[in-house]
Amino acid sequence: MRDAEESSTSTTRRAYLKYGSAVVGGGLLAGCLGGSGSDSTETTSGTDTAGDATDTATATEGGDGKETETGSKSYTVEMAPVGEVTFDSPPESVTHYFPDYGDMSVALGHGDSILSMGLPSRFHTSHYDELDGVSVDTDAITKLNGDSGIDKEIFYELDGDLHLIDPKWLVNNSFFGLKEADVEELEKNVAPFIGNTIFRRTDGWHDYRYYSLYEAFEKVAQVHQEEEKFAALKEFHDEFIASVQADLPSADNRPNALLTFAAGDEPEKFYPYRVSDQGTNKKQFHDLGITDALAGTGIEGLSTTDRGQIDYETMLEVDPDSILVRGHEGKSRQEFVDTVLSFMKEHSVASELTAVQNDMVFRGGPIYAGPLHNLFLTERYATLYFSDTYSGELFDRQKLSDIVTGDD
């Protein structure tokens, strides 16, 4: 393992990227280990609007920019839990864990900066096939998660300019095997951390500010200095969501959903999620007015500390209008019907469920969905849940492609 003295030469080339004043002198302790202050306020709105973000980046052309050794202007991005990180130029190589942040990078035209994912198999990229000129080289992405957790040395090997990872996520998941001291060492010897766990809001250790999907996306845009592209993507999103919501059935004509995780074609046990959770991977359900079938049941959602499962008997007590099963994003709708739904229809208990009888059992979507993926997911569920109202493509693929590639 490299010690601090040995690794000092490797950090010379990234001298342009460093922590800002909020963290200087305290390392990770100044931001990551603090959970109080204004950043602890939780955003609870179901519909994402990036304009609600209160943290801002220091403009590179503004008076607050600092002169660097190369004569360029530095800029600062502030994000809980770390605090301020100061950049002299956008990072060219970034160590990722969360695929939702990877999708943000692709949307901003920086997919080639992605070095890694926790589990690359969860970085679903088929939606890029529908966008001209938009792609990412998944073969070049390194897997962080090993059979026994995350080896700290992999961060040294990747040698990224930035870790776009919530450091508290790494130290509060015991199966990763990383300690606070490990993260502080990596921050000192390799590169800073910035990022916030946004996909769910069920973890007790997350006692600092949450961000909506577009609030977090705005931070990534600030990191990559792509604010104009972000603004165009946000406008595209806002117009699309408004057009869909304008034609939604009345609230009493929208079904509820039981959101679960169960891999395998013949599932018997399910990990429950809460549709009412404000985590970003529920955004498409919130925007479409899909309600939580588990409301008032006392059944909690999957989290780091709660790994409980439910079976078909418990489902039958709830008898949801629809069931969403995660773990099947590699299947088409028809493949899912021919395997999972077909099994349920033949099962002695599952076959009694209203959702099974009405063919209202769907793939549940990815665990980590970024802004581009979310557009396709919103379209998917609009056409599945409200087929009498929506069909076909609900947004302009070419216009979206042009924004991402810079051809608009």
Environment class of 15 (CB within 10 Å of its CB; exposed 0-12, middle 13-18, buried 19+): exposed
In a domain, 239, yes or no: no
User: How far is 344 from 240, CA to CA, in rounded Å?
Assistant: 35
In a domain, 395, yes or no: no
198, 274: one domain:
no
171, 204: one domain:
yes
CB 155 within 8 A of CB 93: no
User: How far is 165 from 118, CA to CA, in rounded Å?
Assistant: 10
28, 168: one domain:
yes
pLDDT at 43: 35
Q: How many CA atoms lie within 13 A of 179 on its CB side?
A: 3
Q: If residue 385 lies in a helix (H) or strand (E), which one and from where to where?
A: helix 371-385
159, 254: one domain:
no
270, 306: one domain:
yes
| Cβ neighbours, 10 Å, residue 251 | 8
H helices present in 80-226, as ranges: 99-107, 153-158, 167-171, 180-189, 213-224
In 3-state terms, what secondary structure has residue 310? strand
By DSSP bridging, strand 256-261 and strand 291-292 are parallel
Strands (E), 11-52: 17-19
The CA distances from residue 373 to 14, 103, 122, 252, 299, in Å, are 31, 7, 12, 28, 28
283, 375: one domain:
yes
| Cβ neighbours, 10 Å, residue 334 | 8
List the beta bridge partners of residue 18: 86
CB 169 within 8 A of CB 197: yes
pLDDT at 64: 45
106, 220: one domain:
yes
What is the tally of structural domains in the chain?
2
Tens digits of pLDDT across the chain (408 residues): 333 333 333 333 344 454 443 332 233 433 333 333 333 333 333 344 433 433 444 443 333 455 555 456 899 999 999 999 999 999 999 999 999 999 999 999 999 999 999 999 999 999 999 999 999 999 999 999 999 999 999 999 999 999 999 999 999 998 899 999 999 999 999 999 999 999 999 899 999 999 999 999 999 999 999 999 999 999 999 999 999 999 999 999 999 999 999 999 999 999 999 999 999 999 999 999 999 999 988 787 666 566 689 999 999 999 999 999 999 999 999 999 999 999 999 999 999 999 999 999 999 999 999 999 999 999 999 999 999 999 999 999 999 999 999 987
In a domain, 400, yes or no: no
138, 76: one domain:
yes
In a domain, 397, yes or no: no
Q: Which of 86, 114, 109 is nearest to 21 (CA)?
A: 86
204, 326: one domain:
no
Residue whose tokens read 């052309």: 61
Answer with the one of 158, 191, 226 that is the final residue of a domain: 226
95, 185: one domain:
yes
In a domain, 396, yes or no: no
Instruction: Identify residue 306 by its one-letter amino acid code.
Output: D
pLDDT at 299: 82
Range of the domain at 384: 248-389
179, 324: one domain:
no
In a domain, 293, yes or no: yes
CATH number for the domain that contains residue 288: 3.40.50.1980
List the beta bridge partners of residue 62: none
29, 144: one domain:
yes
